[in-house]
A and B are shown apart, each in its own frame.
Chain A
């Protein structure tokens, strides 16, 4: 089954404790992206990757890191999480570019930073 998977689905952590949210897709997509979704603010792009070893900042990159060492994986790293990073996070992929009509989203990771 073609899908984007994320882990963990739910995470409660404390300020300053490094964490990684994993994302994997099995569709051989070149483009992958991370979003956060907050009430009233909608989906905001954090980082994106056009291909392996090619990443770039989205609209809200502060406090986040990413890497793209393999085509299928695109982990999101919070080196020192803070309460304002409490949010619902989505990983997405598309076949070729970020402007592609269809992006495939993972199920989401709900992060709470205390």
Chain B
């Protein structure tokens, strides 16, 4: 079983839609949950992160972690064409020496 699994998509939505991106993970020891965004022909960049369970909001983006079900989500409200990118979830804990990335979900927002 992979340590983190992510639906690869692609996901195609109209502008203004609410987007839900999801990952599941297998090891309950993980404490840090990140979302990276990767535009075409660019390297990934950190979008936001959460520690342990709960929600975190940043503008149109909300990251949610449910540790009981080992499920992490990223919600994008009022999606824009500029949100078109690949979104990668990543997990780690304080005593690990690397981030573990999901395979990424490609999102396209059309006008």
Contacts and interface: CB of A to CB of B under 8 A. Distances in A.
Contacts of B46: 101-103
Contacts of A48: 97-98
Contacts of B42: 107-108
Contacts, number: 61
A43 interface: yes
17 contacts: A40-B8, A42-B104, A43-B104, A90-B43, A90-B44, A92-B43, A99-B93, A99-B94, A101-B32, A101-B92, A102-B34, A102-B49, A103-B99, A105-B44, A105-B45, A107-B41, A108-B41
Contacts of A97: 97
A99 B96 CA distance: 5
B101 interface: yes
A66 to B, nearest CB: 15
B88 interface: yes
Given A101-B32, A105-B45, A42 B98 contact: no
Interface of A: 4, 33, 40-43, 45, 48, 50, 58, 90, 92, 97-103, 105-108
A50 B97 CA distance: 9
Contacts of A45: 98
A50 B94 CA distance: 15
B43 A107 contact: yes
B53 interface: no
Contact of B43 (A41, A42, A102, A108): A108
Contacts of B6: 42
